[in-house]
Structure 1
Amino acid sequence: MTPSHQPLVAFTGLEKRAAAGLAAIFSTRMLGLFMVLPVFALYAHDLDGATPLLVGLAIGAYGLTQALFQIPLGLLSDRIGRKPVIYGGLVLFAIGSVVAALADGIEMVILGRVLQGSGAIAAATIALTADLTRDAVRTRAMAAIGISVALSFAAALVVGPPLARWLGISGIFWLTAFLAIVGMLVLAYVVPDPARSSVHREAQPVLDQFAGVLGNPTLLRLDLGIFLLHLTMVSLFVVLPLSIESAGLAPVDHWLLYLPVVLLAIVAMVPFIIMAERGGKVKGVLLGAVTAMCASMVGFYLFHQSIWVVGFLLLVMFTVFNLMEAILPSLVSKAARAGARGTAMGVFSSSQFVGAFLGGLLGGLAHQSFGADAVYLVGAATSLVWIGLAATMAMPANLTAHVLSLGEQPAEEGLGLEARLLAIPGVEDAVVALDEGVAYLKVDSGRLDWATLQTFSARA
């Protein structure tokens, strides 16, 4: 019997509240960050001092501070508690939103976006999720948060254009400030307080694991992949709304293009995920997706005057984006050592936000220096770099992460227990965390002697 055949453990009522509440906090914050993407380039000319470079910087500025503060605030939450850090992050996000809403000039909008990003609560939110859930349901709780972020991105593209028409850009920023306050209320009245907070190596960064993570060439290529993906996507939105408008669709009606494209892209990615995960063709799917992204950016450069072509290319781009957002974290989980997934995902996520920042900056610079069309060539160039990285990357072994509950064990048992676990057929990597009362394993589900493995848990 392998871990995949274990009966599905149901969420408790407290775990449901925790997962739903934290997903709501995460998604509303990301909705606030993303809503300006499809509209800011269209309305920024009303701001004093607006130039293409500064518009691009305003779009991506949140990514820099998000990347800088995400891991440190997660580590701080180990010391002072999860909720105080999340409250502080939401307050910073609200302040940044108000600064941007009150701005008359582009510089103040940039400052507001920088403040929004500094309220980087991702790591602390994931850590709180781990505190409030059992090992058996934790992965599903994390997945719920991930799905909520993806839905937020899709929703932002659809609701952003009409909201910008009705409320203006300042109104969108006021709305994001309101969403931050809603997040605080959800944290106070929906999300339970944890009985205790502890380090969960599979869910959050651990300082002594950074050297190993940063020295792993496969993880570094995956980090560069998510960096290039978000660089390309954010740079695209520096000029894409302008291209859609010039192709004949009024800004208030841009949602009519985004809505069907977003929905179709979700459906279109499913067969490729099945092909990658069940068909064992991860590298082929990865290379094909990045090649399609490169071709799409060239297509935008050549044919952005046609709304029908733009719609088709957007469908390809969003399919690739959704596909990569599903495949790349899965590959990170497989490539990370047992017990190091939290650290690996922390570096991966920070790489994503650095990419968003540079996407806005490089997109704005290309627009200002060489014209709007040149931004699409920036995306094509970054895609070519990614093709080279993906083509030469060794795919990680198809191993499954498993957390084995041990209960209390004497300190001297650690190394001996690791050796005994590694002797079980199918256990490829093991890290015993006696402070957590668990062992983190990487297992080959097809070979695992599940009955023997369970005896270690039973003894506890």
Structure 2
Amino acid sequence: MSTSSRTLALLSGLAAVGTLSTTIILPSFPAMAASLNAAPQDMALTLSCFFLVFAVGQLLVGPLSDRYGRRPVILSGLVLFVLGSLLGASATDLNSMIAARVIQAAGVCAASVLARAVARDLYDGPALAKALAFIMVAMAAAPGFSPLLGSLIDSHLGWRISFLLVAAAGVILIVGYTFSLGETHAPSARLKMTASAIVKAYLQLLGDRRFALPALAVSLVIGGLYAFFAAAPAIMIRGMGYSSVQLGLFFAATVFVVFSSGILAPKLAQRWGSVPVALTGGAVALTGGVLQVLFYQDQQLGQFSIAICLFLAGMGVINPLGIAITLQPFAEQAGLASSLLGFLQMAVAATATWLISALPLSTGLSLGATLCTGAVAAMIGFALHRQNDLQAINQQVARQ
């Protein structure tokens, strides 16, 4: 089946709307904090709660859609997401905002996770590759460019309009999905795994070092990315005095660092091997974290830019290679492995963003400490994975 532009746009929107709803409000954190009578650093809680619920939701919506079909799960999730967005637009304090973000996450995780499942239902071969490429571009572009949109909205219309905008996006997706796509998961293909069987399968994956080590490694550097998202508004707007529009431009510029390193990573891996290149990416990311620790006090934009760009360059190398290393041995369990990897990434993101507000340190130092910890732990994970592979090879040679 060939890919239609309408279907690709719909799948890309489903995949990106969750990230859009998070990153579009980042430049508004100072204004939101003032309106909600909250400390600026406490706004990171709206991220950590979102990511935690999103993480757990990923483990549930996949099996639910395998059993009951994609359509009811996606549409129900989108309705819940719209409700959460409207509640966010009317929030009057931090607790009500956190509640709204929890509802948003509970709903939107279905759309974001199942966009790839719908693509697998509809396409195969080159058409599937094209569809997944569009989805990944949308997911990568959303966190880079949506803060700029959010900053413009914040400057001219106020932060509550951003929530109304993502609610409108949810309504458009509901209408588009209802009239453009029917149920894509045939009843004959549906799985009826029991809850205990699903839990057992997830636990088996977690107990397999081939999955657990690289999965945790890539999740830890992704956590650093979201820690940067959480800390940047306080550092640049409150600390350096930049406007929300300038923060949005900064976020947009960092997208090109991630894109460039992500494109370079597979080429380097072909020559030097995925794990050695991933370890090198970890060293680059660690350098950025160390510089953030050294420069956090009275930090200027140039120092912050160098530290963050180095971390993001290393993260951009690790992300595609780490995901490939994690999923490579599990072709027959690709769906479960992908869902569990997504859960780990969002769980670590929730922890990292929570640390930004929870650590008894300045925001800049908290960010640097989080980046360093994630990079070091990721390097340890990849090193142990490489050692595990070498041991397996030696055992195989000994048996021969």
TM-score interval w.r.t. the shorter chain? 0.7 to 0.9
Corresponding residue for residue 327 of structure 2: 333
Unmatched runs of 5 consecutive residues or more in structure 1: 1-10, 201-205, 398-460
Aligned residue runs from structure 1 range 104-253, under 5 A: 104-119=92-107, 120-121=109-110, 122-134=112-124, 137-194=127-184, 196-197=186-187, 198-199=189-190, 207=198, 209-245=201-237, 246-253=239-246
**Which structure would you say has the larger Rg?**
1
Inter-partner Cα distance in structure 2 for 1:170 and 1:75: 35
Structure with the bigger percentage of strand: 1
Inter-partner Cα distance in structure 2 for 1:396 and 1:13: 41
Amino acid of the residue matched to residue 80 of structure 1?
Answer: Y
Which moves more between the two structures, 385-394 or 257-266? 257-266
Q: Residue 335 of structure 1 aligns to a residue in which SS?
A: coil
Aligned residue runs from structure 1 range 382-397, under 5 A: 382-394=374-386
Partner deviation per Cα, 1:80-120 (whole Å, 9 max, x = no partner): 22111101111111111111110111111111111111012
Corresponding residue for residue 256 of structure 2: 263
Structure 1 residues 53 and 306: CA distance shift in structure 2, 3 A: closer
TM-score, with length taken from structure 1 = 0.75
Q: 2:277 aligns with which of 258, 269, 285?
A: 285
Q: 1:380 aligns with which of 358, 363, 372?
A: 372
Aligned residue runs from structure 1 range 312-351, under 5 A: 312-336=306-330, 338-351=331-344
Structure 1 residues 146 and 108: CA distance shift in structure 2, 3 A: same
Inter-partner Cα distance in structure 1 for 2:313 and 2:181: 33
Corresponding residue for residue 304 of structure 2: 310
Amino acid of the residue matched to residue 59 of structure 1?
Answer: L
Whether 1:296 aligns to 2:292 is no
Partner deviation per Cα, 1:302-336 (whole Å, 9 max, x = no partner): 32522122223332233333333322221122132
Partner deviation per Cα, 1:346-391 (whole Å, 9 max, x = no partner): 100011111121122111101xx22223312122123222222222
Contact (CA 8 Å) 1:238, 1:363: kept in 2 or not? yes
Contact (CA 8 Å) 2:74, 2:114: kept in 1 or not? yes
Identity %: 19
Q: Whose relative contact order is higher, 1 or 2, with alpha carbons under 8 Å and at least 6 apart?
A: 2
Inter-partner Cα distance in structure 2 for 1:187 and 1:98: 20
Contact (CA 8 Å) 1:32, 1:176: kept in 2 or not? yes
Contact (CA 8 Å) 1:101, 1:170: kept in 2 or not? yes
Off by >4 Å, runs of 4+ in structure 1: none
* TM superposition shift of 1:192: 4.5
Contact (CA 8 Å) 2:285, 2:314: kept in 1 or not? yes
Inter-partner Cα distance in structure 1 for 2:387 and 2:325: 8
Q: Residue 271 of structure 2 aligns to a residue in which SS?
A: coil
Inter-partner Cα distance in structure 2 for 1:126 and 1:294: 32
Inter-partner Cα distance in structure 1 for 2:324 and 2:90: 41
C-alpha root-mean-square deviation of aligned residues, in Å? Answer: 2.6
Inter-partner Cα distance in structure 2 for 1:71 and 1:314: 31
Amino acid of the residue matched to residue 228 of structure 1?
Answer: L
Structure 1 residues 168 and 356: CA distance shift in structure 2, 3 A: farther
TM-score, with length taken from structure 2 = 0.85
Q: How many residues align?
A: 377
Amino acid of the residue matched to residue 143 of structure 1?
Answer: A
Inter-partner Cα distance in structure 2 for 1:285 and 1:40: 37
* TM superposition shift of 1:248: 4.6
Corresponding residue for residue 440 of structure 1: none
Unmatched runs of 5 consecutive residues or more in structure 2: 192-196, 390-400
Whether 1:20 aligns to 2:9 is yes
Structure 1 residues 181 and 324: CA distance shift in structure 2, 3 A: farther
